[in-house]
Structure 1
Amino acid sequence: MRLVGFMRPERSLFVVVVLMGIASVAGMVIGPKILGNATDVIFSGVIGKNLPAGMSQAEVIEMLRANGQDQLAEMLSGMVVVPGQGIDFGVLGHWLALAVGLYLAAAALGFLQNFLLNRAVQRTTFRMRDEMRVKLDRLPLSYFDAQPRGELLSRMTNDMDNVQQTLQQTLGQLLNSMLTLIGVIIMMITVSPLLTGITVLIVPLSAVVSIFIAKKAQKQFVAMWDATGALNGQIEEAYTGHSLVKVFGRQREVEADFDQTNGELFNSAFRAQFVSGIIMPVNFFIGNLNYVAIAVVGGLQVANGRMPLGNVQAFIQYSRMFTQPITQIASMTNLLQSGVASAERIYEVLDTEEMTYEQTGALPDELDGHVEFHDVDFSYSPDHPLITGLNMEAKPGQTVAIVGPTGAGKTTLVNLLERFYEIDGGQIRIDGVPITSVSRSALRTPLGMVLQDTWLFGGTIRANIAYGRPGASEEEICAAAAAAHVDQFVQRLPDGYDTIINDEGTNISAGEKQLITIARAFIKQPEVLILDEATSSVDTRTELLVQQAMARLRSGRTSFVIAHRLSTIRDADLILVMNRGAIVEQGNHDELIAAKGAYYDLYQSQFAAAIEEA
């Protein structure tokens, strides 16, 4: 029913489609009756030519009865014949021309109906994709953390395409089948109520059988699409990390996992298609039983003169036309069930709880970069609090370094500042304005971030740098590249800044990718800068150059630096030492070394290890 809601904007187009369908089906169902009339003209002509000329039909019937030919007399009583006269080709031509005209008109209307219906379906799936995209933009980062990328991509592509295919292939057939069923029943009643009753008896039987089989198949279709999503996730993961898989020699394990999931997909898909595929042959069998019954009863009716031969011929066609839409609807069951299973997976995403309501406030136009954390509480899971009552202040222009062991909450702290996650309690303020009172886009506009995991899209180096500021000039791009020392390796590339970075960014080194992301932050010129292990993939020589450039970039703006290499943050104005979501120490480098606390231990362990390795 929710799919109907998506199609509501196309209701005027669907009304036209239905009207065209009615007209098209009307032409198709009237055709057999007209052909029956043509058959009567032929049969009457053949019979009439063999009867004595000059006598009336009534006289011929009386003569046959007198001669003991009662069966033939009964048959003639149900016909309109002129004794001695053959086939009237003028009347026959009239009926045949009318039938051809009706069939041509029905075909033309059917073609136009399919064109309009296809347009409506494409518009509907376009809106579904767009709503899915908008929904993904509104989902919190925690949702993406919990979802394998391949699974989400499968819902966005495979499931969406399957829903489109289902609508496209079944909606028109379903509409025409229902209209044909109604039209055929009306025509059958006008031809023979007795034969109509015999024909309609198969409907409950077909319905019961189809529903029983469909329920068995539905569970298998859900399992099939779940297995498809899991398989896509494994493929995406294995392909992205194929180098790591080869380095550790885990090809067999990856292949085993793939074979297992692929086997589950095979089994569920086989069961789904096999079970649903039973519906069509079963309905064919039931339809053939009905055909035999009509042929026998109709033949007896003609022999007894209760029905013209043309009506029996027409009714046999109607019986086929009656069972055909039932069989078509039954044959569409597997496709419909597959589409419903995909739609359910799409609705799971659309029904996911979105991020909290966006406020309409804004930060000051002239931002100083005064950042405060006041009694902040946060947890990824309600049962496991990570940050409790955290207080921290970064004054305008300060460089704040955040250090600590893995899992201490360093990256979480800056993610809360960016509102990638919502805090459970307390306040985070920028220049005295609570960040929850402004929209996320307004909050992130003055913030610049360089992540440890580099992300570059397929395109030129120039476009990747300019991503930080749409519409940036060539001079600004070159200046940012020079500041991040990107120009040093770009000059060695044959195409320079027009070098195309492939989707995985494998045609440049990890360090070069990191430098490009740093240049992207440079060009944005943010008021607040966040560097999350920004030099982790840069060699020692380049790191020194980047540190100098970053010192110039940090000048006059508030900066947060997450670092494992303590040597890179010695000149920070404030160093926060975190452990298990809490700030256990804070101060500058000299103060913390003198205190001989947690920072001193971290510093000594790093440099002692370096000396031992040397």
Structure 2
Amino acid sequence: MKNKNTLKRLLSFIKDYKILLYMALLCSAINIIFTLWTPVLIGQAIDQMIGKHEVHFMILYKKIAMIIFSVIMTSLFSYLVMRLSNTMTYNITRDFRKALFKQYHQLPLKFIDASSHGDLMSRMIADIDLISDGLLQGFTNLFAGIMTIIGTIVFMLMINVKIALIVIILTPLSLAVSSIIATKTYKYFQEQLKIRGELSGFVEEMIGNQKVVKAFSHEEENKENFNEINHRLFISGVKSQFLGALINPTTRVVNSIVYGSVCIFGAFSVLGGGLTIGALSSFLTYANQYTKPFNDISNVFTQLETALACADRVFNILDEQPLVECPHPKTIENPRGSIHIEDVTFSYKEDQELIKDFNLHVHPGQTIAIVGPTGCGKTTLINLLMRFYEPRLGSISIDGINIQDMTRKDMRSLYGMVLQDTWLFKGTIKDNIAFGKEDATLEEIIEASKKAHAHGFIEKLKDGYNAMLSEEGANLSNGQRQLLCIARIMLANPPMLILDEATSSIDTRTERQIQDAFDTMMKGRTTFIVAHRLSTIQKANQIVVMKEGHIVEQGTHEQLLKQNGFYHTLYYSQFDTE
């Protein structure tokens, strides 16, 4: 039943391409008519030259001309069928990828974080390619095969009813065999695709972190893990391919029995005068043509099963509940930066509470530093502010408007965010800096780069601002990548800032220069700073000290030191002065 539902949903993607489908089916039907007409013409031509001194050349020439015309038309419409079905299939494949890519952007971040990135990429690329292959085989061979079977039966009944009945009675055995085997292979194909996604995820992780792997000499352990997954894929692949490969030879055995039966019964009919040599020749051609579609259909079953298993994996993603925006969103025309966090409770897992009854009031233009030990909830708080995750209880508001009453796009446009983990894409330095402001002029980009102290190293590159970055900016140092990300925020010039270890990969001298630029940029802007180096947040209007998801202390740098509490311990432990 699940198979049928998947196929039904798969076919629903064809609705926009009905014209292409109908044209392909029409051309296929015409192609089959000419294909089946050719054996009749060949048989009639044979009958014109079987007797000694009884060759009718004029009729024979006409038959040969008709055969040539029929073959040309067969080739022409066969080409049209392939062209139309290919166009339809690749359009559907494109729509599939667009729908899946759009869904990836709509899914909550918790789903992306909890899924293997390699598996998600495998569904986008490999699985949809296999769906495409299955559709191509399905529409070019399945319909043509069924039409050929029906047409061949009609032509055979017109020639000789008794021999036609022999073919019709014996041939369905091949269908029964192929359908039984195909049903058993489906679960193995699903298992194979699941393991393939697991393997893609593992390889993607290992390739992306080769420096760490080599630093810890973990190559042999990785090989063992890879071999274990690869062996499971091998076993699953052998089972599915073995069962799938059984379909073709078993149907061929049945088809050979049919062909042999036609030869024997037809020969006796010719001897008895009930059938001409030409008619027998046509009949043998039809018997061969009649069994060929069953072979084609049986071959298609394997690819269709793979396509359906792949479609299941894609539909599983498409069926995930996307993020829902407020139906009547509010906007903030002139943001001041007043933020109220009221009784917020949050956990990544229901049984592991991270933040509970969290309250924080931030006045416009204040700089709020968030400090605390690893795992206390600093980055989680930033995730909640940006609506990467939603609180289970409580509310967060900006200028009196609950952020859940705004669209995520409008809300996030109020923040400029610099993270510890940099992100750059394959493209020019200019395009990477202008990512947050695509209509920026080159002069604006250069000015932002100067403020971020990135202009110097950019100018030293061969192509300057037009220099191409490799994937994730791998051809730059960590510090240079972070400077470009800072320049991106300088260019966007947002009303509020979030700096999450923004200068962690930069040397001390450059960090001081960047800090001066940030000080200028933060004037009049509400800013959240997450920092481990407490020396960088001494000028903050308010320092929020977190521990196990709670605010344990709150105040200025001087006030917190005088309290001799948790912040005092954290601060002096970094400088080892006590």
Alignment of 1:29-68 (within 5 A): 29-43=36-50, 45-46=51-52, 49=53
Partner of 2:419: 451
DSSP 3-state at the match of 1:491? helix
Question: Based on CA coordinates, which of the two structures has the bigger radius of gyration?
Answer: 1
Per mean C-alpha deviation after superposition, the further-off stretch among 382-391 and 310-319 is 382-391
CA contact (8 A) 2:337 2:496 kept: yes
DSSP 3-state at the match of 1:332? helix
Partner of 2:27: 20
1:501 to 461, 464, 469: 469
Distance in 1 (alpha carbons) for counterparts of 2:292 and 2:442: 67
Per mean C-alpha deviation after superposition, the further-off stretch among 556-565 and 257-266 is 257-266
Alignment of 1:2-21 (within 5 A): 2-21=9-28
Residue 197 in 1 paired to residue 204 in 2?
no
C-alpha distance 399-164 of structure 1, shift in aligned 2 (>3 A): same
Alignment of 1:180-259 (within 5 A): 180-259=148-227
User: What code does the residue aligned with 1:444 have?
Assistant: R
Alignment of 1:63-102 (within 5 A): 86-102=54-70
Distance in 2 (alpha carbons) for counterparts of 1:26 and 1:460: 57
Q: Structure 1 unaligned runs (5+)?
A: 50-85
Partner of 1:466: 434
Distance in 1 (alpha carbons) for counterparts of 2:146 and 2:353: 58
User: What code does the residue aligned with 1:496 have?
Assistant: G
Partner of 2:4: none
Partner of 2:459: 491
Distance in 1 (alpha carbons) for counterparts of 2:307 and 2:188: 13
2:364 to 367, 381, 396: 396
CA contact (8 A) 2:38 2:67 kept: yes
Residue 527 in 1 paired to residue 495 in 2?
yes
The offset of 1:168, in angstroms, is: 2.2
CA contact (8 A) 1:224 1:269 kept: yes
Which string of whole-angstrom CA distances, capped at 9 and with x for unpartnered residues, describes residues 485-511 of structure 1? 112322333333233221142322111
The offset of 1:407, in angstroms, is: 1.2
Which string of whole-angstrom CA distances, capped at 9 and with x for unpartnered residues, describes residues 289-325 of structure 1? 1111111111111222222222222111111011000
Distance in 2 (alpha carbons) for counterparts of 1:586 and 1:359: 37
Partner of 1:130: 98
CA contact (8 A) 1:24 1:110 kept: yes
User: What code does the residue aligned with 1:336 have?
Assistant: L
DSSP 3-state at the match of 2:48? helix
Which string of whole-angstrom CA distances, capped at 9 and with x for unpartnered residues, describes residues 340-378 of structure 1? 222111111111121123444232211101111112222
Distance in 2 (alpha carbons) for counterparts of 1:313 and 1:339: 39
Alignment of 1:574-593 (within 5 A): 574-593=542-561
User: What code does the residue aligned with 1:42 have?
Assistant: M
User: TM-score, normalised on structure 1?
Assistant: 0.90
How many residue pairs get aligned? The number is 571
DSSP 3-state at the match of 1:575? strand
DSSP 3-state at the match of 1:428? strand
User: What code does the residue aligned with 1:451 have?
Assistant: L
Distance in 1 (alpha carbons) for counterparts of 2:484 and 2:73: 64
DSSP 3-state at the match of 1:578? strand
Residue 158 in 1 paired to residue 126 in 2?
yes
2:381 to 413, 433, 438: 413
Distance in 1 (alpha carbons) for counterparts of 2:216 and 2:267: 79
Distance in 2 (alpha carbons) for counterparts of 1:166 and 1:519: 48
The offset of 1:404, in angstroms, is: 1.1
Per mean C-alpha deviation after superposition, the further-off stretch among 9-18 and 496-505 is 496-505
CA RMSD of aligned residues (A): 1.6
The offset of 1:392, in angstroms, is: 0.9
Partner of 1:68: none
Distance in 2 (alpha carbons) for counterparts of 1:340 and 1:137: 24
Alignment of 1:530-541 (within 5 A): 530-541=498-509
The offset of 1:246, in angstroms, is: 0.8
Distance in 1 (alpha carbons) for counterparts of 2:430 and 2:164: 74
- Matched-pair identity in %: 37
DSSP 3-state at the match of 1:254? helix
Per mean C-alpha deviation after superposition, the further-off stretch among 160-169 and 241-250 is 160-169
Which string of whole-angstrom CA distances, capped at 9 and with x for unpartnered residues, describes residues 507-541 of structure 1? 22111111111111111111110011111111222
CA contact (8 A) 2:32 2:74 kept: yes
Distance in 1 (alpha carbons) for counterparts of 2:412 and 2:328: 14
User: What code does the residue aligned with 2:49 have?
Assistant: I
The offset of 1:436, in angstroms, is: 0.8
C-alpha distance 497-209 of structure 1, shift in aligned 2 (>3 A): same
Q: Structure 2 unaligned runs (5+)?
A: 1-7
User: What code does the residue aligned with 1:210 have?
Assistant: S
Distance in 2 (alpha carbons) for counterparts of 1:248 and 1:387: 34
Partner of 2:5: none
Partner of 1:71: none
DSSP 3-state at the match of 1:583? strand
Distance in 1 (alpha carbons) for counterparts of 2:363 and 2:250: 78
DSSP 3-state at the match of 2:343? strand
Per mean C-alpha deviation after superposition, the further-off stretch among 335-344 and 151-160 is 335-344
1:348 to 297, 313, 316: 316
DSSP 3-state at the match of 2:357? strand
The offset of 1:100, in angstroms, is: 2.1
1:305 to 269, 273, 287: 273
Partner of 2:253: 285
CA contact (8 A) 2:329 2:406 kept: yes
Per mean C-alpha deviation after superposition, the further-off stretch among 143-152 and 162-171 is 162-171
Partner of 1:276: 244
The offset of 1:481, in angstroms, is: 1.1
Per mean C-alpha deviation after superposition, the further-off stretch among 538-547 and 393-402 is 538-547
Residue 367 in 1 paired to residue 374 in 2?
no
User: What code does the residue aligned with 1:540 have?
Assistant: T
Per mean C-alpha deviation after superposition, the further-off stretch among 257-266 and 531-540 is 257-266
DSSP 3-state at the match of 1:237? helix
The offset of 1:106, in angstroms, is: 2.0
DSSP 3-state at the match of 1:585? strand
User: TM-score, normalised on structure 2?
Assistant: 0.96
Distance in 1 (alpha carbons) for counterparts of 2:254 and 2:571: 83
1:260 to 200, 220, 228: 228
Partner of 1:513: 481
2:82 to 114, 129, 135: 114
Distance in 1 (alpha carbons) for counterparts of 2:326 and 2:39: 63
User: What code does the residue aligned with 1:195 have?
Assistant: I
CA contact (8 A) 1:359 1:439 kept: no
Distance in 1 (alpha carbons) for counterparts of 2:533 and 2:46: 95
The offset of 1:388, in angstroms, is: 2.1
Per mean C-alpha deviation after superposition, the further-off stretch among 212-221 and 325-334 is 212-221
Which string of whole-angstrom CA distances, capped at 9 and with x for unpartnered residues, describes residues 536-593 of structure 1? 1112222212211111111110000011111111111111111222222211112222
Which string of whole-angstrom CA distances, capped at 9 and with x for unpartnered residues, describes residues 252-297 of structure 1? 1111112222222222222222221111111111111111111111
Distance in 1 (alpha carbons) for counterparts of 2:97 and 2:184: 30
CA contact (8 A) 1:359 1:436 kept: no
Partner of 1:78: none
Which string of whole-angstrom CA distances, capped at 9 and with x for unpartnered residues, describes residues 35-80 of structure 1? 222222223x33xx5xxxxxxxxxxxxxxxxxxxxxxxxxxxxxxx
Partner of 1:67: none
CA contact (8 A) 2:39 2:282 kept: yes
DSSP 3-state at the match of 1:119? helix
C-alpha distance 206-269 of structure 1, shift in aligned 2 (>3 A): same
The offset of 1:199, in angstroms, is: 0.8
Distance in 1 (alpha carbons) for counterparts of 2:297 and 2:238: 21
Distance in 1 (alpha carbons) for counterparts of 2:568 and 2:118: 44
Partner of 1:66: none
User: What code does the residue aligned with 1:535 have?
Assistant: T
C-alpha distance 94-494 of structure 1, shift in aligned 2 (>3 A): closer
CA contact (8 A) 1:401 1:560 kept: yes
Which string of whole-angstrom CA distances, capped at 9 and with x for unpartnered residues, describes residues 119-165 of structure 1? 11111111111111111110110111011221111111111112112
Partner of 1:564: 532
Which string of whole-angstrom CA distances, capped at 9 and with x for unpartnered residues, describes residues 173-220 of structure 1? 222111111111111111122112111223332122112221232222
DSSP 3-state at the match of 2:460? coil
CA contact (8 A) 1:359 1:438 kept: no
CA contact (8 A) 1:362 1:442 kept: no
